[in-house]
Amino acid sequence: MNASTQFFWRLYWIWKLALRSLLRQPRRTATVLLTVGIGTASLFLFQGFNTSIMNSYRENSIHARYGHGQLHTAGYRDSVYEKPWEHWIEDSGQIRSELLKMPEVKQVFPRIEFFALLTNGQINVSGRGTGVDGKEESTFFTTMNVVEGKMLSDEPEGILIGRGLANALNLKPGDRVTVLANTIHGSLNGADLTVTGIFHTGSKEFDDVAFRIPLSQAQKLLDTEKVESIALGLARDEDWDIFSQKVATVFPQLSATSFAVLDKIYYQHSIDWLKSQFGVIRLIILAVVVLGIFNVVATSIFERKAEIGNLRANGDSRWDVLLLLLSEGTAVGLIGALVGILGAAILNSTLLSKGILMPPAPGLTRTFHIPIVLDLWTAVITFALGGVSCLFATLLSAWRVVGMSIGNALRST
């Protein structure tokens, strides 16, 4: 029998002995398994909760305001112009056709943003309007949360208005409101529109001034055929980098800006802050889990000093005993981590199936149901953390006990 064969047989018997040792003390083994399982499940659920919050922020930004990003004329967002309409996008119809030929692009939304005065005949309130393709946008911007009426669709004289602005003007669906704005030539123009719906995105600053009208009405109101920007709905969130590179090649006169940049204050800053906060909390939870596992494993090993002394007295080396204990720690760690992962998945699909109702976040005015998102990659990482934590705790505890003299180990009770 060669050396490699002897090594594998030795390893086999050590693992067999380790499993028998675990089964010989079911109460002690169950305690370690429960500790590892609860710790792993806690980390898994917490990471899933974090992921869901990040997704909620992203979805609210993409599907309520900006799409996956927007196109402007090159340099438009970085400059201040006396007459910005001179730098708006021409031939938007042709550009739209070319964009829709790209496999990454699912929907295209030409837009114009403008400031206007809204009046119900008695009260005048300033607002910020957006001219949109209502029928097209109604299928994509699904998190605007229309609380009364319906989304703006193909109504030629409709207006979708933010809740704060609607409250200021005392408007409800079906009411008439007049929108007054300056044309690009400086003259005053107006449009009498009918409220189709009232929305709120959760951002009070936005909902207090925002309204949407058909793009044709906005162009007529401003006396222009141009559009200020083109918002995009992509097939996948991950396609933005590929798409922006194509835009730079196909449309050099345009620049592409992702929603994370457009919504930097609300989305990007919030995500950066949450990631830092969750990172600290994750470290705290991990430290508590590791200390809990270490305490249980250390107690288990210290109770076996006499047993370890007998193994040493029967001819097993320190390394043999250490390898035996590490094999036990590895086995119980992996099994416990697997139990924790499965337990978290079962808990998420039963008691937490509707998510967790969260109060409004800073800067927002609406609550959110946060479903816990458990994905395979997070499960693999958490599983590895649970197993490694148990192995590390076993190593720290076993190293001290294995280093004891045979006599001192045998005299232990």
Q: Can you give the three-state secondary structure of 186-243, one letter per residue?
A: CCEEEEEEEEEEEECCCEHHHHCCEEEEEHHHHHHHHCCCCECEEEEEECCHHHHHHH
Strands 210-214 and 158-162: antiparallel
Residues 6 or more apart in contact with residue 74 via CB below 8 angstroms: 252, 253, 254, 255
To the nearest whole number, what is the mean pLDDT of the chain?
A: 85
* b/e code 312-331 from CB counts within 10 Å (16+ = b): beeebeeebbbbbbbbbbbb
Q: Are 132 and 108 in contact (CB under 8 A)?
A: no
Interacting residues of 287 by C-beta distance below 8 A, sequence separation 6+:
none
Residue 413 pLDDT? 58
Q: Specify the pLDDT at position 256.
A: 93
Q: Cα–Cα distance between 74 and 254 in angstroms, integer?
A: 5
Please check the confidence at residue 1 and state whether its pLDDT lies above 60: no
pLDDT at 77 over 80: yes
The pLDDT, as a whole number, for residue 184 is: 92
CA torsion sign for 92, 97, 103, 109 is positive
Per-residue pLDDT band at 108 (split at 50, 70, 90): very high
Q: Give the C-alpha separation, 68 to 31, whole Å.
A: 49
The pairing of strands 210-214 and 146-149 is: unpaired
Residue predicted with more confidence, 332 or 346: 346
Which of 190-194, 208-212, 327-331, 372-376 shows the lowest mean pLDDT across its residues?
Answer: 327-331
Contacts of 8 (CB under 8 A, 6+ apart): none
Lowest-confidence region among 54-63, 109-118, 202-211, 316-325: 316-325
- Mean pLDDT for 247-260 is 92
Which residues on neighbouring strands pair with residue 356, listed in sequence order? 370
Among the listed residues 145, 123, 131, the one whose alpha carbon sits nearest the alpha carbon of residue 63: 145
pLDDT tens per residue, range 294-342: 777 777 777 777 777 777 777 777 787 778 778 878 888 888 889 999 9
- Write out the two tokens for 219: 């162009």
C-alpha dist (Å) from residue 95 to 90, 225, 228, 230, 376: 9, 14, 13, 9, 40
Q: How far apart are CA 381 and CA 44, in angstroms?
A: 9
> Span 22-48, mean pLDDT?
82
pLDDT of residue 159: 96
- Residue 196 is predicted with a pLDDT of 95
pLDDT at residue number 166: 94
Separation of alpha carbons 51 and 373, rounded Å: 6
The set of residues, in sequence order, having a beta carbon less than 8 Å from that of 89 and lying 6+ positions away, is: 71, 72, 73, 95, 110, 226, 227, 228, 229, 230, 254
Instruction: With beta carbons less than 8 A apart as the criterion, state whether 104 and 242 touch.
Output: yes
Q: At what angle do helices 3-24 and 26-61 cross, to 10 degrees?
A: 100
| Residue scoring higher pLDDT (169 or 64) | 169
Q: What average pLDDT does range 232-241 have in this prediction?
A: 92
